[in-house]
Structure 1
Amino acid sequence: MFGKLVLTGARGNLGNELRGPLSTLCRELVSTDIREAPETLHPNETYVQADVAKMEEIGPLLEGADMVIHFGAIVDEKPFEELWGPNYVGAYNIWEAAHKHGLRRVVYASSIHAVGLCETNRGIDTDEPHRPDTFYGLAKCFAEDLGRMYWEKRGLESVCLRIMSCTPVPQNVRALQTWLSYRDMVQLVVRSVETQTVGFTVAYGVSANTRAPVSNHKVGFLGYRPQDNAEDWAEELFAKAVDPDPQDLAQTRLGGPFASVPLGESGIAGIQAMSKGKKG
């Protein structure tokens, strides 16, 4: 049982799924987001509205904590200037505050978009060099490198989770490869918190999909054993799929539509179009 855990991005879809499970791992869970507090809290949960881009707001929340689970960020491609505060400065603030207050570990919501321009059919593992597809993906590369540096220079552990397509059910044919169920996402985060030693670790946030294009075989020590498989939705998803186009980066790169959109323009809009059976 941990004493205190801090969760950023607690009002986002994934953060909200984590609040309950994390509250069972500690005596005190401090949840935070730039948005107002949720209507109900868990018995040992407190909520503080704060901006991760402002050290004076986020830094004090980490005092006395064992670990911080950092899920707070803008979760789409935007112009660089819009991402700078929450995604770049916010990551620095978390690692610096974690170091200042003597935390043991940062568990970070990275993204497949850190390697989003890698070809889907290459079968990469967790040692793949950065190849971001957007300014959003570049922010994930920055935070991963920050995590490695803080481990090697300051002894602060990190687990960087390259989350793929985390939704309640798979949304499109691409998700047959990239889907991460909520149940598996929670398991991955819990294992990242509970594993005794991790140093600096990168792991892919992906379920046990038959067609998964990435491998976690080098990080088996986390004990992550996903339970769900997008293949259960294959027939339904192929029925509404767009025609394959080998020249379309959205269909051939790990980042999906994020790989094909112009820098600064929404990648989520392309994913939504793909899910409706439109090319994008």
Structure 2
Amino acid sequence: MKKIVLTGAAGRLGSYLREPLANMCETLISSDLVDDIGKLYDGEKYVRADLASLSDMNDLLADADMVVHFGAIGDEAPFDAILQSNIVGAYNVWEAAYQNGVRRVVYASSVHAVGMHKSNDGIGIDAPHRPDTYYGLAKCFAEDLASLYWDKRGVESVCMRIFSCAKVTNPRAVGTWLSYDDLIHLVERAITTPVTGFSVVYGISNNDRAPVDNTKATFLGYRPKDNAEQFAKEIYANSDPLDPNDLAHQCIGGPFATVELGNSGVASLNIVDDAKKT
């Protein structure tokens, strides 16, 4: 593959994707809003670009084979902020992909597109949208946009509904963990699978207590190896008993299911910032 574009390259998840993506193509264009992302890998170039600008996205995606879209606000926020970064930004990425003949968008969707479904429902990838926040609503928009651009314009997409891709620090993550190694494996499969059309897959590791069914996405060849059960004993021993009547413990969106619209859901998750350093 000649050229892959990665948006959100300065983010925590993007930091783990840069090196493996650089190894998959002749040129990796990493992009974000920061001025500098540090030392570059062989074949990697950094371009500062704004998702809210269609012109920026058109320039960024010129001659690209695929775009791995991890950019935008990664938390619940006021609607106007979500609108520009996550909704308009998604439109600009897909429209620029279409205008530049990019074959496929590999998209960091989220569990929060279906976050109000109950954990014990065991939903699959065909579950109806049930967002828990404006953030989740924007993911629903992007997934439907991806479906539309496949049906009407032939742009393939793999929408990865990412769960808890961070160090396991709370009881919910024992079921919802996505390890960095499994994240990389998932993105690689989303890129290398010959034909995807419009596809949805859950970004979750091989957890004993996973609250969703990924069976219908097996054609991607995604076979996660890590399992959060290794952390269960310690996590449960150090946590207070969970309230079964609390939607934050009932719903797969966790605390996003109860947070006030526009307020951070990440704030209560105790996420460790262990971004990969170059």
TM-score w.r.t. the length of structure 1 is: 0.95
Work out the CA distance in 2 between the residues paired with 1:13 and 1:124.
28
The corresponding residue for 1:251 is: 249
Q: Secondary structure at the match of 1:272?
A: coil
CA shift, 1:56, in A, is 1.7
CA distance in 2, matches of 1:42, 1:105: 23
2:2 maps to 1:8: no
Match of 2:199 in 1: 201
Unaligned 5+ runs, structure 1: 274-280
| Deviation at residue 245 of structure 1 after TM alignment | 1.1
Is structure 2 residue 229 aligned with structure 1 residue 231? yes
CA distance in 1, matches of 2:162, 2:42: 29
Number of the residue aligned with 2:214: 216
In structure 1, the partner of 2:274 is: none
Query: 1-side partners of 2:18 and 2:226: how far apart?
Result: 21
Distance 2:157 2:226 in 1: 26
Query: What does residue 63 of structure 1 align with?
Result: 62
Partner of 1:95: 94
SS for the counterpart of 1:30 is: strand
SS in 1 for 2:200: strand
In structure 2, distance between residues paired with 1:150 and 1:175: 33
Q: Deviation per CA, 1:177-211: give whole Å up to 9, x if none.
A: 10000000000000000000000000000000000
> Once the 2 structures are TM-superposed, how far is the Cα of residue 270 of structure 1 from its aligned partner?
2.1
Query: 3-state DSSP class of the match of 1:165?
Result: coil
How far the C-alpha of 1:103 sits from its partner, in A, is 0.7
- Residue 192 of structure 1 contacts residue 222 of structure 1 at CA under 8 Å; is this kept in 2? yes
Kindly state the Cα deviation for residue 242 of structure 1 after the two structures are TM-superposed: 2.6
Q: Quote how far apart the aligned CAs of 1:247 are.
A: 1.5
Structure 1 partner of 2:150:
151
What is aligned with 2:80?
81
The alignment partner of 1:19 has SS state of helix
Tell me the number of residue pairs that the alignment of Structure 1 and Structure 2 aligns: 271
Shift of 1:35: 1.2
Q: Which moves more between the two structures, 239-248 or 68-77?
A: 239-248
1:262 — aligned with what? 260
Amino acid at match of 1:223: G
Q: Contact 2:49/2:60 (CA < 8 Å) preserved in 1?
A: no
Cross-structure match for 2:71: 72
Aligned-pair distance for 1:55? 1.3
Report runs of 4+ in structure 1 exceeding 2 Å deviation: none
Q: Are 2:127 and 1:128 equivalent residues in the alignment?
A: yes
Whether contact under 8 Å (1:256, 1:271) holds in the other structure is: no
CA shift for structure 1 position 141: 0.1
Q: Which amino acid aligns with 1:184?
A: D
- Secondary structure, aligned partner of 2:149: helix
**Which gives a bigger RCO, structure 1 or 2 (Cα 8 Å, sep 6+)?**
2
| TM-aligned CA deviation for residue 272 of structure 1 | 2.5
Counterpart-to-counterpart distance in 2, 1:62 and 1:148: 20
- TM-score w.r.t. the length of structure 2 is 0.96
Question: What's 2:276 paired with?
Answer: none
* Deviates most, 33-42 or 95-104: 33-42
Corresponding residue for residue 41 of structure 2: 42
Report percent identity of matched pairs. Answer: 56
Q: Please say if residues 258 and 270 of structure 1, whose CA atoms lie closer than 8 Å, have aligned partners that are also in contact.
A: no
- 1:38 Cα offset (Å): 1.5
